[in-house]
Chain A
Amino acid sequence: MPYKIAVILDKSRIERIRGTPVEKEVKDLYGGYLKVIELTVPDEIAQRILKEFPRARIDARGFIEETPVAFKRELFEVIVKLKSTGPEVFDELLKPDRLGKIKEAAAKEDEYLPPPNVAYCG
């Protein structure tokens, strides 16, 4: 069964795909408050992602979630590089060199994630 994975687009990411075929695949979520690209993930690739990143899971919507931030970041870089959201994205993403780099960054994420700069209103 194929699953999905979503990449959230902030302003800088939207700029980086502007004018490419990927721009046409941008979807609105929650009334347009969020922009995302959704990729279809074949079952065998989904199982491999779950195996490589034990905390990742399939949520109630059938989306692969709780992957490391480094994984999503690299996924977006590959989308930009290939100007595609097709299955070749995962072939590139899961190449040993790239995967090793993601895992190295992900290991550091377990200890520290930089907090965003917003004021507490309490």
Chain B
Amino acid sequence: MNPYLRIHTTGSGTHQPSPREEIQRRGWRTVIAHQTRNVPHTGHEHLMKNAAFMGDIEPCHGILVNAIIGAKRLGDFVDEAILEGHEAVSKYGYISPRRHMVTMTLWDMRYGNPLESLLHGIIRQNMGCTHHMFGRDHAAVGDYYDPYSTQILWERGIPSFGLTAPPYDLDKGLKIRPVNIKEFWYCPKCGEIAYSDTCGHADVAQRFSGSFIRGLIAEGIEPPPIIFRPEVYRVIVKWWRVYNYPFVNRRYLELKERELEVDLKPMEVSSRR
């Protein structure tokens, strides 16, 4: 793994800059956050590259990938493959390492879609990001929420949550700005990966599906490079050999609970009004 992450996780005693300090050191004026609990397929990669065009007077200087590391649902990818998979994207130049940084947050996914997106906004703003990309089914599982409910929250607020305006437009709200993106699909007519709102061939478009790709992988079939980078696939196989399984299963969850859970003394939190 990237030394930047390794020092963070092993606590070597060396001062390691926080993401905010690292952003300042790199001189990035605008940084867009990419929330992830997935090993990236090329649809994610296109989302990152294209969302980053929304900066200020030029595209965002940096793309900060912030992987959620912790308990996940059975069948999601293992944490190690998520982090190394994202690192492989810049290591092999699919996104230049000059513009790409992989970080993580220890957090058990709640799959809370719009509610969880507020937490994401706070965390990434604190990390120093100026923008946050939100795609379809943000922090979602199944069809409990509308696929675009997070985007609705960040576009106009959700009054039933007590938010009558987007989080950046409220008194004492967040400063981080949303970049709402629909989806990228493979269009056989265009012969390329296209943006759903730009491509006019919805009737023949072939959408990306993480579930489909996971099924392909489970069957032992290497996904084609147009949907999955070979170097990223090899990362999955590397960790598959370690755990004898490519995805989160009960045994992996028990192991991670032992490794990552920390017992804290009860904390008293004063409330000020």
Contact indicator B222/A29 (Cβ below 8 Å): no
A residues 77-122 in Cβ contact with B at 8 Å: 109-116, 118-122
* A61 is an interface residue with CB less than 8 A from chain B: yes
Kindly state whether residue A65 has any CB partner on chain B within 8 Å. Answer: yes
Contact (A60, B137) CB under 8 Å given A30-B227, A120-B238? yes
Please give the distance in Å from B90's CB to the nearest CB on chain A.
13
Give which listed residue, A33, A55, A121, A122, contacts B224 with CB less than 8 A. Answer: A33
The answer to the question of A19 belonging to the interface, with a C-beta cut-off of 8 Å to chain B, is no
Q: Is the CB of B222 within 8 A of A118?
A: yes
- Please tell me which one of the listed residues B143, B209, B226 contacts residue A61 in the complex, with CB atoms under 8 A apart: B209
Report yes or no: A122 in contact with B215, Cβ–Cβ below 8 A.
no
> Are A31 and B142 in contact, with the CB atoms below 8 A?
no
Q: Are A72 and B219 in contact (CB under 8 A)?
A: yes
Chain B min CB distance to A60 (Å): 6
Instruction: Provide a sorted-by-A list of 20 A–B residue pairs whose CB atoms are within 8 angstroms.
Output: A29-B206, A30-B224, A30-B226, A31-B188, A31-B191, A31-B226, A59-B210, A63-B209, A65-B211, A66-B211, A72-B219, A111-B244, A111-B249, A113-B240, A113-B245, A115-B244, A120-B238, A122-B88, A122-B231, A122-B238
Q: Is B233 an interface residue (CB 8 A)?
A: yes
Contact partner of B75 among A55, A60, A114, A118, CB < 8 A? A55
Q: Does B221 contact A (CB under 8 A)?
A: yes
Q: Contacting A65 at CB < 8 Å: which of B206, B212, B241?
A: B212
Q: Are A8 and B206 in contact (CB under 8 A)?
A: no
Question: Does B46 count as interface, using CB distance less than 8 angstroms?
Answer: no
The digit string for A46-74, where 1 denotes a CB below 8 A from any CB of B, is: 00000000010111110101110100100
Give the nearest-CB partner of A54 in chain B.
B74
B249 adjacent to A34 (CB under 8 Å): no
Contacting pair B188 A60 (CB below 8 A) = no
- Any chain A CB within 8 A of the CB of B235? yes
Report the Cα distance A120→B230, complex, angstroms. 10
Q: Of B207, B221, B225, B235, which contacts A122 at CB under 8 A?
A: B235
Which B residue's beta carbon lies closest to that of A55?
Answer: B75
Interface string of A6-49 (1 = CB under 8 A from B): 10101000000000000000001111011000000000000000
A residues touching B (Cβ–Cβ < 8 Å)? Answer: 6, 8, 10, 28-31, 33-34, 55, 57-61, 63, 65-67, 69, 72, 109-116, 118-122
Closest A residue, CB atoms, query B186: A30
Residue in A30, A58, A67, A112 whose Cβ sees the most chain B Cβ within 10 Å: A30
Beta-carbon contact of B246 and A30 below 8 Å: no
B238 close to A34 (CB less than 8 A): no
Most buried by B among A33, A69, A111, A116: A116
Q: Which residues of A contact B238 (CB under 8 A)?
A: 120, 122
Check A59 against B212 for contact (C-beta < 8 Å): yes
Q: Could you say which of B75, B224, B245 contacts A111, with CB atoms under 8 Å apart?
A: B245
How many angstroms from the CA of A34 to the CA of B215 in the assembled complex? 13
CA gap between A8 and B217 in the complex, in Å: 11
Whether B240 contacts A8 by the Cβ 8 Å rule is no
Point out the residues of chain A lying under 8 angstroms from B251, CB to CB: 111
